Structure 1
Amino acid sequence: MTSPAVDPAPEAPQAAPEPESRTPARATATTVTTPTTVTTATAGLTATPVPAVATAAATRRISGAVWAALGIVYVVWGSTYLGIRIAVETMPPFLSSGVRFVTAGLLLAGIIAWRQGPAALKVDRRQLGSAVLVGLLLILGGNALVVLAETSIPSGLAALLISVVPAWVVILKAATGRRPSAGGLAGVLLGLVGLAVLTLPGISGEVKVGGVVLVVVATLLWSVGSFSSARLPMPANPFTASAYEMIAGGLAGAALGLFRGEHHGLDLAEISTRSWVALGYLIVFGSLIAFTAYAWLLQAAPLSLVATYAYVNPVVAVALGALVLNEALSWPIVLGGAIVVGGVCLIVSTERRG
């Protein structure tokens, strides 16, 4: 999942991967407009904005640089589902996911060491353990399962199923004593109704039900990872945390791929050029550029504006899947997607006010 993972609450998660750091974010502010930089995935992986920063940002004028960075997050993160679908046409799912995130994590670690010095990568055992755990939940559980699912279901459907993540986060918060707002609760209910409608293609046999189930499980694991990241002793530098998360999750994905025997009979010469291009796109644009743009936005724009990516990304993914891969837009996908996006909109607009 590249996207990226949303915590609709003010305390915000690490998403997608999606961490932020004041120093690196400022350093890349000029490159974002060019653009340059970093994510997880999806996803995604996660960030922890401070309410005070959001308040200050909200009072600033929305600049052209902000809209440019927001456009990058909208389009690039939304396009990662298409990139994954093309990559797995001729690449094994877990091995390709592992290569993507290990490469992106090492590149991010190198950037951190170059810009801030090797000391910025130093963490203690508890912080490293937390980063590894979150990386396994976000990258291996949340993203790699989506990669596997996209070998059997359309990229647009996968994106719409993933967009229900904010609803799971609200449920997790409620389970730990945080009462959701009326709007947040309504958004959760809408999201679950939309999820039920989106599963109809699997039930009816239009797509493989196994792929739909994999994405639903991925959303749950991603939500748990996002929820947990704000409550564990993570590295102080969110970029450092993200680098360790991506490397840990990527290594685990590669190991699982080897365990599944994905390397047996694998001939690199048989991998298509478009799959290689898609993998490179996911590493550079999905796991680096869009992430830094997102990290910078968390400090330069109102959170309510930044959070809109949660319901724009699925729309972009569905549109690209239909235009590039001719993915069918059945009525369950259109209706269920509209319901889910509406629910996410309610959650983001109401929960972030608290």
Structure 2
Amino acid sequence: MSTATSLALRPNALLLPALLACYLVWGSTYLAIHLALPSFPPFFQMGTRFLAAGGLLMAWLLARGQALPSATEWRNALVIGVLMLGGGMGLTAQASLHIGSGLIATFIAVVPMLTCGWGLLFGKRPSALELLGMAIGLVGVALLVQGASFAAAPGGLLCITGATLAWSLGSVLSTTRLPLAKGPMGYASEMLCGGTALLLVSLALGEQPTWPPTAAATAAWVYLVVAGSLVAFSAYLYLLAHATPALATSYAFVNPLIALFLGVALAGEVVTTREWAACAVVLLGVVCILVAGQKSRKH
């Protein structure tokens, strides 16, 4: 009996809720970022979000008696936080000023492919299926950026490209050269360091939040802190411990679909037929990468 089959037969009441949390919550965070922008500028929004979430998580862990990260783990958290949250999420929010949330989510779906590419620098050779997935994904991205939305916003395209490169590099470093503290403590330290870096960038850019913020922007920001940074991440940790790797990482191709639907249905975003086709090609490449990763773990 395969691992996936045995997992499906093993009763687990929290598996489906955890999957839905990762799919629906992370898929909707792109729209939440967009809705918070009128009152919370990009880097200020992300900085305050991660400082709040990181502070809450750190306080909860310390109350449970967990030890603080070591000096080396704090250093690693600073580097990873700057890359993944400072560069990755900060530039994603900046791109949201110019490009629809659904298309941004689809572009970010290439992160697994970029992670494979960065892995080459650390001696990780991709399999034939991973190379195929990367090639398909690149074709999809090429089609996507030629669409009307990206063509009309070269600055947004530059930001989201930088975001995916920074996030994927941080992902590789965190699992190879710069490991974080184990478990949620590592994520809490990363959020605190990344949030601080984001606020410093916000200060340097002279960002000015609107005060008082609108009700919609405030609700979106709270949603990002509580649901996006705490609930969904806890659900993801649960999936990593109780589900197959392929199932746990399946959010990578489900989130863009949810983000596209929400952007069109709730925010009036326009996605052309060509862009829908490009999204399908990108997601096909992601599926190849995930299947290849699952096969490599079995051997």
Question: Per the shorter chain, which TM-score range?
Answer: over 0.9
Change (3 A) 1:127 1:275: same
Query: What root-mean-square deviation, in Å, do the aligned CA atoms of Structure 1 and Structure 2 show?
Result: 2.0
Match of 1:89 among 13, 38, 44: 38
TM normalised by structure 2 equals 0.93
Distance verdict in 2 for CA 1:254–1:190, change over 3 Å: same
Shifted more, 231-240 versus 339-348: the winner is 231-240
* 1:345–1:132 distance in 2 versus 1, CA, 3 Å: same
Which residue pairs with 1:228 in the alignment? 173
Equivalent-residue separation in structure 2 for 1:153 and 1:62 (angstroms) = 42
Give distance in 2, aligned partners of 1:296 and 1:247: 22
Does residue 174 of the first structure (1) align with residue 116 of the second (2)? Answer: no
3-state SS of the aligned residue for 2:147?
helix
Q: Which amino acid aligns with 1:61?
A: R
Per-residue Cα deviation, 1:271-319 (whole angstroms, up to 9, x for no partner): 2110110000000000000010110111111112112111000100000
Match of 1:285 in 2: 227
One-letter amino acid of the structure 2 residue matched with residue 107 of structure 1: L
**Deviation of the 1:129 alpha carbon:** 0.3
- Alpha carbons of structure 1 residues 192 and 89: separation in structure 2 relative to 1, 3 Å: same
Aligned pairs for 1:205-216 (under 5 A) are 205=151, 207-216=152-161
Match of 1:34 in 2: none
Instruction: Please say if 1:304 is aligned against 2:246.
Output: yes
Deviates more, 1:88-97 or 1:72-81: 88-97
Question: 2 CA distance for matches of 1:67 and 1:189?
Answer: 32
What amino acid does structure 1 have at the position aligned with 2:291? S
Q: Secondary structure, in 3 states, of the residue corresponding to 1:327?
A: coil
**Contact residue 158 and residue 212 of structure 1 kept, 8 A:** no
Say if 2:10 is the partner of 1:61: yes
Offset, 1:255: 1.0
Secondary structure at the aligned position of 1:268 is classed as: coil
Q: RCO higher in 1 or 2 (8 Å CA, sep ≥ 6)?
A: 2
Offset at 1:249? 0.7
Change (3 A) 1:171 1:59: same
CA distance 1:353–1:62, shift in 2 (3 Å): farther
Pairing 1:202-351 to 2, within 5 Å after superposition: 205=151, 207-263=152-208, 266-269=209-212, 271-351=213-293
| SS of corresponding position for 1:112 | helix
- Between the aligned residues of both structures, percent identity stands at 35
Q: Are residues 60 and 232 of structure 1, via their aligned partners in 2, closer, same or farther at CA, if it must alter by over 3 Å?
A: farther
1:51 corresponds in structure 2 to none
State the TM-score, normalizing by the size of structure 1.
0.79
2:94 matched residue in structure 1: 148
Corresponding position: 1:72 with 2:21: yes
Cα deviation 1:136-189 (Å, max 9, x = unaligned): 101001111000110111001110110000000111123333221111111000
> Do the aligned partners of 1:180 and 1:351 also contact (CA within 8 Å) in 2?
no
What 5-or-longer segments of structure 2 have no aligned partner?
none
The Cα offsets for residues 174-205 of structure 1, whole Å up to 9 and x where unpaired, read as: 33332211111110001111111111136874
- Is the 8 Å Cα contact of residues 105 and 244 (structure 1) preserved in structure 2? yes
User: What aligned pairs does 1:6-21 form with structure 2 within 5 A after superposition?
Assistant: none
Q: What is the distance in 2 between the residues matched to 1:288 and 1:229?
A: 20
**Cα gap change, 1:274 to 1:113, in 2 (>3 Å):** same
Task: Please list every run of 5 or more consecutive structure 1 residues that lacks an aligned counterpart in the other structure.
Answer: 1-53
